[in-house]
Structure 1
Amino acid sequence: MIIVDGPAELGGEITIQGAKNSTLPLLAAAVICKGQTVLHNCPRLSDVETAVRILEHLGCRCRREGSDLIVDNAMTCCEIPNDLMRGMRSSIVFLGALVSRCGEANLYFPGGCELGPRPIDLHISSLKKLGVEIEETGGCLHCRAPHGIVGNYVSLSFPSVGATENLMLAAVCSHGTTIIANAAREPEISDLAAYLNRCGGRIYGAGESCIIIDGVKELFGSEHRIMPDRIVTVTYMAAAAVTGGNITLKDVDNTHILPMLSPFEESGCEVRQLGGALNIMAPRHLGAVRHIRTMPYPGFPTDAQPIVMSMAAVGSGTSIFVENIFENRYKHAEELERLGARIKVEGKVAIVEGVEQLFGAPVTSYDLRGGAALVVAALAAQGRTEISGTRYIHRGYEDIAGNLSSLGARIREFAGSGEPEAEES
């Protein structure tokens, strides 16, 4: 449980952690690479711990040295049991890596936050075009490539990040050339490609809508510094915004933040980019964020939508949100209403009428970013807010309570009762 006594005005500086959504596919890539992989700036998250358990089950040896995670590839099997697969949604990215390394794989359907249907059909149909035979029995995927991975042209019906990553991991050691059309363009895709190329891969065009992969015979592990987490960056920016704060965030890639700057500028915040750092100075009273429409990169990311909604809840005026990625990404709205927010949800549209003051109350986190949104809102609320379901927050935030406390928030976290019944996490 996280307890916040608000309001508080934040000030100071913190360093941004490595990106969760980059770390997980990089750990899957370690399956393909012979020898040792060293990932610098690796965040301590429950999702990363799950990925490490998967690697150790496969036979790899993993150890931490400070912020570095070291993986020695000594694989002994190509199966991932149900309990490990259900630990996180991103576990499906091991599919392409395992088939690439072993020529076969047996794993179960993944878990994840309950954000509505997120079928892996696109992953399966795309890998089939590379010569992978996939059968499903009792929730288990039996995969094999009897003739090896064969390069091909694959056009994605939607620029799925996970499907793009799976194709990259499968095709990097394939026979021939693979072209991915309508590929995801997120910075995390570029980070994965940079690591694979450092290990001997030949991947061109990552970060654009067309990626070309010339298959190589084998890859060898290398060192890589994980990119900073852009969603965590925006979370702390929002925390400063709702408290009228002035904070500096270090180790930020400002180019990754550009698609998310407009709501901060519209609400009256002053954002200054300082090389590898970012400073945000918020006004005493926020304005509305007006109109947010989530889209694939370089559009506004769905992961930032709940967090910016907390800003809109205390902004003067009306803000409109349109969620185009996930069907069930407004669970946090009802919890924000418990704090006094005025939000009306109709289908994929949420209309937020800003209020002058939120008030502390018991609330529950039901997913990762919704939990972060509740923490942000609690910083602006008068009185005490108790947030349960914090295991979701731990999936993507490294010591969020400690970081906010260092900026002046009255916040603490402790283990105890009050956690919601376990869903797939």
Structure 2
Amino acid sequence: MDRIRIVGGNKLNGTIPISGAKNAALPLMIASLLTDETLILDNVPRLADVAQLQRILGNHGLDIMSKGKRPGDHEYQGQTLHISAANIIDTTAPYELVSKMRASFWVIAPLLARMKEARVSLPGGCAIGTRPVDLLIMALEKLGAELQIDGGYVIAKAPGGLVGAEIDFPKVTVSGTHVALMAATLARGTTAINNAACEPEIVDVADCLNKMGAKISGAGTPRIVIEGVSKLHGARHTVLPDRIEAGTYAMAVAMTGGDVQLAGARPELLQSALDVLTEAGATITPNNEGIRVTRNGAGISPVKVTTAPFPGFPTDLQAQLMALMACAKGSSHITETIFENRFMHVQELARFGARISLDGETAIIDGIAKLRGAPVMATDLRASVSLVIAGLAAEGETMVNRIYHLDRGFERLEEKLSACGATIERISG
């Protein structure tokens, strides 16, 4: 199994290209099931999760052609996928595929909307809490689907097609909003999603669906209205830049010091995180090319942060911020409100010498002057990159084990960091 070796202490200087957003690319690929015409997606990141979803979609009979750079493209503009769901040969998504990635459960929505049936395994994925699918099932039932759970599979049928409805989510759910949005595009009549997630990735998927002929308004607000249409067509769409990747590298620069241009990053997608970094002592300068992040000389100031749905501070940057606060001058508080098990990185950060105590859903981090390199183990996607950030600033050598989690969400991580002066390498086997 691959590992990453880091020798800490180098400042980061240079340019880091920001890839397409994983959390938009996956639902956009799934949305291709809604049409028998070709959907072309540009700026798709090369990630393990993307490759896994290609296998899952291939199992349904989709034809996916991958192209790299087009002539004249920047090197970081990802791959272009041509996805054709002209012939769906199977409406079952089996356990051995779905169990490896939670988002693949979402195929239930377009399969049900277009094929009027689906049989999808209950999901697996990161071990950070229950993240149940009950709200997704509720949304599909509101649209007229008949659902039952049998042998670990959700069996969904809508023999007469889906019908528009009012869907009231009791809490904000990104996955529920994606599922309701996709299913409602082909439902008869009007659907309103209330208490919808407002994340930029929801807006990106809605924009793409509208290019495909859907009639969606209000994406990015708590109420999304969808006028159902009988058929969607093909389209071409560019995946928006990954705000979590941009925030992660911004925190790495704040941690190590230096001066880095995050090429292609869009500040409005992660303003709350940029505000926290400014409070912590980094200088954030949006410009025409993206976002410039610098921290020269001054120490890291402590912060108090509570994770919240967009536009609040993202749960997906909580672990990275905790690594940064491990070297702050004072005591920081981070409260996690989204996922109940999302402090598994605390024990691993403690191996660097970090002083972190837990009080319910709040972590109290007492900053120390210097972390020490250590062998550590990744527990989930975002936790694993927090260990890389700590390793970049720690004295001596850090070895990060079980890095397959990193490959699920960060494209060419070692390349991007080493190009800016980090001593980091992947050790295979």
- Superposition TM-score tier, normalisation by shorter sequence: over 0.9
Aligned to 2:140: 127
Contact 1:339–1:381 under 8 Å retained in 2: yes
CA distance in 2, matches of 1:218, 1:211: 20
Distance apart, 1:288 and its partner CA: 2.9
Aligned to 1:198: 211
Q: Which runs of 5+ in 2 are unaligned?
A: 69-78
Contact 2:34–2:232 under 8 Å retained in 1: yes
Paired amino acid for 2:32: A
2:44 pairs, out of 42, 45, 53, with 42
Aligned to 1:268: 281
**TM-score relative to the length of structure 2:** 0.96
1:321 aligns to 2:334 (yes or no): yes
Contact 1:263–1:289 under 8 Å retained in 2: no
2:422 pairs, out of 394, 400, 409, with 409
CA distance in 2, matches of 1:288, 1:151: 50
Tell me the SS of whatever aligns to 1:217. coil
1:12 aligns to 2:24 (yes or no): no
2:54 pairs, out of 43, 52, 55, with 52
1:70 aligns to 2:119 (yes or no): no
Distance apart, 1:287 and its partner CA: 2.5
Contact 1:19–1:227 under 8 Å retained in 2: yes
Distance apart, 1:415 and its partner CA: 2.1
Contact 1:268–1:283 under 8 Å retained in 2: no
Distance apart, 1:346 and its partner CA: 2.1
Distance apart, 1:285 and its partner CA: 4.2
Distance apart, 1:283 and its partner CA: 3.1
Q: What do residues 79-131 of structure 1 show as CA deviations (whole Å, max 9, x unaligned)? A: 11111101111112111111112100001011111001111101001110000
Q: What do residues 287-306 of structure 1 show as CA deviations (whole Å, max 9, x unaligned)? A: 33411100111111100100
Paired amino acid for 1:170: A
Q: Which runs of 5+ in 1 are unaligned?
A: 417-425
1:222-301 superposed matches below 5 A = 222-301=235-314
CA distance in 2, matches of 1:34, 1:286: 56
**TM-score relative to the length of structure 1:** 0.97
Contact 2:177–2:193 under 8 Å retained in 1: yes
Aligned to 1:422: none
Distance apart, 1:414 and its partner CA: 2.3
Contact 1:288–1:354 under 8 Å retained in 2: no
Paired amino acid for 1:26: L
Distance apart, 1:46 and its partner CA: 0.7
Paired amino acid for 2:57: L
Paired amino acid for 1:71: I
1:28 aligns to 2:26 (yes or no): no
What is the percentage of aligned positions where both structures have the same residue?
38
Distance apart, 1:276 and its partner CA: 4.1
- What is the RMSD computed on CA atoms of the aligned residues? 0.9
Aligned to 1:419: none
CA distance in 2, matches of 1:17, 1:93: 23
Tell me the SS of whatever aligns to 2:270. helix
CA distance in 2, matches of 1:133, 1:7: 58
CA distance in 2, matches of 1:284, 1:340: 22
CA distance in 2, matches of 1:307, 1:285: 20
